[in-house]
Each structure stands twice: as C-alpha cells, then as structure tokens.
C-alpha cells in the first residue's frame, strides 16, 4: 500500500497522480536511456566475442538483466528489493523500500522513488559482474557533450578571468565601493553560469544534439536566460558569502561536462576572491542519471581543461582569440589541479546521494555527511533531482516558501545556508510569486518541466 494521497496537495509526486510527464518518463524517456545502455554493452560484447569470451558472456548476462528491467517497467511489476552488490548502501535502500513502498508497482511508486531505484539497480547489475564492475556505461556521452561545449567554454573562461581580475584590483585609484559593486555583479554572473549549465543534462535530453546544446549555451552567453529566472535570491546569497569567510563551501554536484565546468568556475571565484579557503565537491560514486559527475569525470574535466590540446582542432587552430582563451583555460585549470593536490579543492562521494531519500532525512540517514555539510557556510545544491529531494518531491503550492519546503535542514541555529541552483525539469516547484507563476500557468504548457525556467533559492540557515 502506498502512503500518499493524490487528492490534497502537498502530496507525493507520482506517476499515478501526475499523468503526462511522469508517464512519458516511465514509458518512453527512461526506457530509451536503458536501451542505450544495452546498445553500449552490446558493442562491448561484439568486441569481446573473439578476444575475451568470458567478458562477452558477462556482457550478455548484463543485457538480459537490463532487458528484464525494461520488461518490469513496461508491464508495471512491483519494485522488488535490489540485489546486494556489496558497496554498502543496498540494505538501507531495501529497508527504506519495504518500509514505505512495499508492493508498489512502477506506476504506484513516487516518480522520485522509481527513478532513483532504477539507476541504483542498473549500477548493481554492473557491479555484480566480473568484467564490468567499473565500466561507466554513460562515459562516452558525457565526454562527447563536454567536448561539444568547446566554444562556450572558451568564451566563459575569458569572461570569468576578466571578472576575477577586475574584482581583485588593488590599485588606489579604484574606490572600494566600486570593487564591491563589481563583486556583486560578478557573483550574480557566476551564479547564472552555474545555474544554466544545468540545462545541459543528458537524462532529460538523452538524445541531445550538438546544435541543441550550442543553442542552450548561446542563451546563457547572451544573457537571454535571465528572463526565465522565476525566483532569484542571488543578492541574499552574496551577502551571506560576504558576511563571513567560510572555512569551507560545499557544492553538491549534478551533471558533468559543461555544467561541471560552470561549477568549477564558481569554485574558482570563491577561492580567488577569498570567500573560502576550501571547496568540497560532492559527487556520485556510481554512474547516475546519465550525466552526473563521478570522481573520474571530475578529474577528466579538470585535466582536459589543463591540456591545451583537448580543444584545438583544424577548424579553430588559427583563431587567435580562441587560442588565447584556451591558454587562459589551461593556466586556470593547472591551478585547479594544484588545488586538488593541496586539498584546497576536495572531491567526496557518499552513498546518500544515490539513495531515494528526501533531504529532510539527511541528518538521520547520513549524520556524517550532514556534519560535513554543516561545517560549510554555504552549500550549493545543483540541478533538478537535488531540488526535488530538497523539497521532498512534494507538489507544494508554488508560492510555498523555500525554507518551509526544505523542512528540518533549514534549522536557523545550526544549518548552513542552503542554496538551490536549478533549471526546472519536473512539476514540483516552490518559492515563486503568484504574479510570476500565474501567467506561466496560463500561457506556457508544462512550464515547470521543460527545462527552460530556473530558480536560485536560498535558505539562510544560521545566517538568518
């Protein structure tokens, strides 16, 4: 029996309650993603047939388990316990499943639950194999989307480098309040870069073409996206950042590639302008929602940026301004590499991030992680899934205050400032004024789930 009600908001956001988008996800979008994984493994099997028969057999077994999974989804079977793969989190996930969602089928279960269940179950299929334990079935698409972003990356690095140097100017001829204004303007820009990078997510757009990616990035570069920001606490965030130098700031990452690049620029800004002495990046430890960052992706992106050859090809090799930007990027990324060596930047992974839990449960389910996050003054949560978990994926009325929706982790005596940078790809949203959302409700079909609108929201926690 499910423990939610579809009749009165706020209710759990489920396929059963919310027809169109979740149903489309269950029947089309997500099966497409699983089918792409099957195709990827199939290519591995074909290669291994003559050279490594045991790998080929292993691959075939994986394909059959993935096929079973698609069949269970399409025939709306109950969500069965996940087989243990011994990385440590499955018993807790299964007991959560049996406590709250026993006997739920795919359609009954909350969208948040069945989708996280699916990605965790897929990871288990690979982790339990002999030859594919550390195989990242999403690696190729993540790499491609990153390399396709070259033009936007080159332009953004130049922009951020300039903003940092303008804000760091120490000459007596520039008044302090001018520097302060520049810092505010720069901070607002950086937040926008990190926010809109979240549009380029390969689970929402699994078939993302280079031209579509470039179009999204062009909207970010031109500033057009700013009109689609429906809730914006950026100035409040700036004042919290300014009010006290933090020992650490945390960024709970979402997608690799272009979005991660924007997050690295945010971290660069925070260190260069002295807002903190340490940035902790929180990544996933298994392939997740197609393009989420794993520690491997993190190193790949930083190292690729440090290496000038990554982006230079026959088309751009004689473009002087491009080459200048790539040189700037390389210098900046070499600094990032040394931050990673010295611990100024740290990448941490925790099982909690790939569980099904809403973040009100963070202190209870992962007290160690919550202790780390609480030591940071600011914790940035990137993207749609983190946002849904922050607000327990409930269909709150759209003008519910963000602080109310995130519940206990907004505690005003102990909690860090919690910041959401999210482009909206699901029907749940809070903290938007009626004069903003009412016209959208009326005029833009499915405006909350099309990935075009964004929010920058903040709970001030102990800085209230």
Binding site for ligand F6P (CB under 6 A): 115, 198, 201, 203-204, 254-255, 289, 383-385, 388, 425-426
Residue 204 or residue 415: which is nearer to ligand F6P going by CB? Answer: 204
Closest distance between ligand F6P and the C-beta of residue 293, in Å?
10
CA–CA separation, 349 and 410 (whole Å): 23
Q: Cis omega (within 30 of 0) on the bond before 432?
A: no
Phi, psi angles (nearest 5°) of residue 405: -70, -30
Q: Let me know if 114 is exposed, middle or buried by CB neighbors in 10 A (0-12, 13-18, 19+).
A: buried
Task: Supply the minimum distance, in Å, between the C-beta of residue 341 and ligand F6P.
Answer: 29
**At its nearest, how many Å lie between ligand F6P and the CB of residue 334?**
29
Place of tokens 């480098």: 161
Burial of 86 (0-12, 13-18, 19+ CB in 10 A): exposed
Q: How far is the CB of 22 from ligand F6P (least distance, A)?
A: 9
C-alpha distances (whole Å) from 275 to each of 239, 271, 335, 368 are: 11, 6, 17, 24
Residue with tokens 């951020």: 160
Q: Which residues, 6 or more positions from 326, have their beta carbon under 8 angstroms from its beta carbon?
A: 154, 308, 311, 312
CB nearer to ligand F6P: give 311 or 359. Answer: 359
* Dihedral pair phi/psi, residue 229, rounded to 5°: -85, 110
Query: Minimum Å distance from CB 180 to ligand F6P?
Result: 33
HSE-up of residue 86 (Cα within 13 Å, Cβ side)? 4
Q: Which is nearer to ligand F6P, 89 or 292 (CB)?
A: 292
For ligand F6P, give the closer residue by CB, 41 or 385.
385
Shortest Cβ 161–ligand F6P spacing (Å): 27
| 23 vs 323, beta carbon nearer ligand F6P | 23
Return d(Cα 117, Cα 236) in angstroms, integer.
36
Q: Which is nearer to ligand F6P, 203 or 304 (CB)?
A: 203
Please, which residue, 89 or 115, has the CB nearer to ligand F6P? 115
Gap between the Cα atoms of 56 and 48, Å rounded: 5
Q: How far is the CB of 205 from ligand F6P (least distance, A)?
A: 8
């Amino acid at each position: 029996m499910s423990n939610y009600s579809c009749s009165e908001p706020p209710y759990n956001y489920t396929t059963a309650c919310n027809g169109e988008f979740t149903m489309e996800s269950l029947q089309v979008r997500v099966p497409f993603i699983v089918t792409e994984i099957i195709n990827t493994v199939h290519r591995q099997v074909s290669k291994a047939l003559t050279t490594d028969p045991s790998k080929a057999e292993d691959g075939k077994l994986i394909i059959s388990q993935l096929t079973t999974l698609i069949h269970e989804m399409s025939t709306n079977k109950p969500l069965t316990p996940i087989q243990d793969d011994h990385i440590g989190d499955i018993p807790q996930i299964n007991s959560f499943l049996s406590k709250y969602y026993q006997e739920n089928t795919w359609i009954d279960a909350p969208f948040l639950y069945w989708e996280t269940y699916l990605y965790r179950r897929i990871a288990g299929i690979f982790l339990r194999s002999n030859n594919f334990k550390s195989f990242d079935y999403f690696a190729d698409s993540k790499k491609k989307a990153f390399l396709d972003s070259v033009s936007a990356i080159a332009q953004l690095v130049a922009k951020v480098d300039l903003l940092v140097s303008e804000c760091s100017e120490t000459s007596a001829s520039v008044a302090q309040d001018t520097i302060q204004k520049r810092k505010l303007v720069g901070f607002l820009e950086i937040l926008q870069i990190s926010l809109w990078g979240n549009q380029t997510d390969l689970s929402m757009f699994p078939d993302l073409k280079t031209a579509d990616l470039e179009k999204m990035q062009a909207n970010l570069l031109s500033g057009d996206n700013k009109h689609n920001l429906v809730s914006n606490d950026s100035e409040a965030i700036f004042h919290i950042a300014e009010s006290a130098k933090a020992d650490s700031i945390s960024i709970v990452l979402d997608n690799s590639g272009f979005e991660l690049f924007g997050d690295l620029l945010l971290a660069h800004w925070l260190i260069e302008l002295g807002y903190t002495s340490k940035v902790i990046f929180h990544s996933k430890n298994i392939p997740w929602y197609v393009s989420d960052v794993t520690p491997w992706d993190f190193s790949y992106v930083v190292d690729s940026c440090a290496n000038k050859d990554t982006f230079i090809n026959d088309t751009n090799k004689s473009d002087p301004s491009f080459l200048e930007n790539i040189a700037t990027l390389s210098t900046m990324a070499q600094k990032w590499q040394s931050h990673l060596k010295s611990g100024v930047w740290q990448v941490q992974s925790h099982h909690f991030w790939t569980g099904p839990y809403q973040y009100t449960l963070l202190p209870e389910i992962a007290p160690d992680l919550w202790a780390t996050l609480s030591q940071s003054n600011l914790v940035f949560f990137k993207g749609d899934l983190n946002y849904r978990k922050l607000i327990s994926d409930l269909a709150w009325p759209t003008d519910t205050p963000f602080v109310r929706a995130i519940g206990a982790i907004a505690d005003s005596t102990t909690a860090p400032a919690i910041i959401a940078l999210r482009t909206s790809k699901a029907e749940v949203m809070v903290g938007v004024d009626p004069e903003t959302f009412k016209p959208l409700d009326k005029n833009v079909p499915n405006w909350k789930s099309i990935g075009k609108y964004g929010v920058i929201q903040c709970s001030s926690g102990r800085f209230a």
